[in-house]
Amino acid sequence: MNPAEVIKQRMQMYNSPYHRVTDCVRAVWQNEGAGAFYRSYTTQLTMNVPFQAIHFMTYEFLQEHFNPQRRYNPGSHVLSGACAGAVAAAATTPLDVCKTLLNTQESLALNSNITGHITGMASAFRTVYQVGGVTAYFRGVQARVIYQIPSTAIAWSVYEFFKYLITKRQEEWRASK
């Protein structure tokens, strides 16, 4: 998914020079090479592991609080899922900011970077700090949290619903034997 993320983010940039996906792919390939599509790969992995860990731990913690009997309870699944996604998104926003910078090579940041291209997580972290200080690591945190809340609420409620259905069918099948 990393190449798709690079293209999506470059096309979403303010004043993006790209009008079609194919234009963007061609320009990135010709000007920066194949490596540009994977420049943020390690950052993506580094972001997803803590995101998922925080997400699952928060969901389980909240389920213990809102649904200690662990029964099928759609309200608790939606609420716990939404909160878990929000916490995980907020906590991993600095990594997402660095990943976006690696993918877009945004010109303001490039102008502040001596080497020209931002390559690797350490370089991205330094550049974000140089350009905007500590607060720059949390740019877009509200949008990221707002995006994750419905996504994780829906995902957990669907997961718990199907888990309930499968468990119920298994119990009914066992009872009929």
Number of other residues whose CB lies within 10 A of the CB of residue 118: 26
Nearby residues of 28 by Cβ (< 8 Å), 6 or more positions away: 6, 7, 10, 36, 37
Residue-averaged pLDDT of the chain: 89
Residue 132, classed as helix, strand or coil, is helix
Question: Does 167 reside within a domain?
Answer: yes
Boundaries of domain holding 171: 73-176
Per-residue pLDDT of 31-65, as tens digits, reads 888 988 888 788 778 889 999 999 999 999 999 99
Rounded to whole angstroms, the Cα distance separating 108 from 113 reads 9
Per-residue pLDDT of 81-98, as tens digits, reads 999 999 999 999 999 999
Percent of the chain with pLDDT over 70: 94
Asked which of 16-20, 76-80, 103-107, 112-116 is least confident by mean pLDDT, the reply is 112-116
Question: Does 171 reside within a domain?
Answer: yes
pLDDT at 108: 58
What would the mean pLDDT of 147-152 be, rounded to a whole number?
Answer: 96
Tell which wins on pLDDT, 94 or 17. 94
Percent of the chain with pLDDT over 90: 55
Question: Does 45 reside within a domain?
Answer: no
One-character DSSP codes across 56-108: HHHHHHHHHHH-TT----HHHHHHHHHHHHHHHHHHTHHHHHHHHHHHH--HH
Cα distance between the two ends of the chain: 46
Number of domains comprising the chain: 1
**CA 99 from centre of chain:** 10
Question: Does 6 reside within a domain?
Answer: no
Question: Does 57 reside within a domain?
Answer: no
Res 106 pLDDT > 80: no
Give the pair of three-digit tokens for residue 86.
């929000």
Rounded to whole angstroms, the Cα distance separating 24 from 104 reads 11
